[in-house]
Structure 1
Amino acid sequence: MSTISSVEALAALYPNPVAPASIAKEIDHVDDNYAALIAASPFFVLATNGPEGLDCSPRGDMPGFVRFRDAKTLLIPDRRGNNRLDSLKNILFDPRIGMLFLVPGYGETLRVNGTALLSSDPELCGQFEMAGKLPACVIVVTVESVYFQCSRAVVRADLWNPSTQVDRRRLPSAGQILRDITAKNVEVETFDGEAYDKALPERVKATLY
């Protein structure tokens, strides 16, 4: 294996200069164009770092769920999840975050880097009420850099082509994964994967918010 161990060695593999547009597209705030992309996005991935390592967490809701306080501040409700709290605990130790927004049908993705804090302010949480439920906290993001990523990855993946969607029956279900993992651990009772899969759709529906 030819391991790359220096910036110089890496640069030698990519001799072409950075395109001017790749630099010009990065700004330190959310302008009107970038705001339109965030407002249209129902899904982003949140990257954090903490004492137990890195975390990359999916976040999704109806478009517009990420709101703007101003051009330097984003507000994100923390909706119900598995209560591992990996991302939130990481933010407490290291406020630096990265976000990658996707918009269905749109080739470019949007990257936002900055710092975050967690707020349980009742008035702020009240702004994000959904189905009669409030988020436990709101992630308040101070924006440091914003830029779009070109569409090559999405085009190569053919991501928005409905005909490429995978039949779920071809892949292991959540219950099957849990059953097989617990079956290998003599200290844990084997999981009833079939019952888990059967109850999962209604459980997800009942606990979205």
Structure 2
Amino acid sequence: MSTKTVVVVSAGLSQPSSTRLLADRLAEATARELLAGGTPARVEVVELRDLAHEITDALLTGFAPEALAAALEQVSRADGLIAVTPVFTASYSGLFKSFFDVLDKDALSGTPVLLGATAGTARHSLVLDHALRPLFSYLRAVVSPTAVFAASEDWGGGDETTTGLPERVSRAAGEFAALVARHDTERDDPFADVVPFAEQLRRLGGDTTP
């Protein structure tokens, strides 16, 4: 069975960050679920923190610098996307939104997406449904049913087992992996059925010689 590529987009600003930590947990769980189902997976990570200047340049000029262009290509070719953002002012971060602003509007059409967000308190958890889902629905992605939010308390004391975060990650990864396993990244070639010009001329002239 062919290897599936899962691309992780993390918009954490600090290093290390809880956003990247959640992204890694989701990616690891997804890879395990895919492998358990007989599908090998390759995980690639796009750190938006490292592309901040390039994203700004692309917004101002309309052209993506080399590093950003490579990241956009990664996302466009993914069998599945894990997108995780910190919450700023009750929504996704500006860096996160700007990256998807410079992505081709059709790049995620039909692509499975697993959403994640992090913040200081659980009162920001509604950002998953009020901000993130509408964004990726607009991009015509296939948004996985379960999204994962992690507040500071989910990492507190070094003991995740009391918070339910591992269970949420596991359930989300299982649903997402099922979508990824069925996804086909082959794009329809709009020129695949175009009749060669010489053949068109022969037909116009009534010449049926092959």
TM-score normalized with structure 2 length: 0.24
Higher relative contact order (CA 8 A, sep 6+): 2
Higher strand share: 1
Q: If the length of structure 1 is used for normalisation, what is the TM-score? A: 0.24
User: Which structure shows the bigger proportion of residues in helix conformation?
Assistant: 2
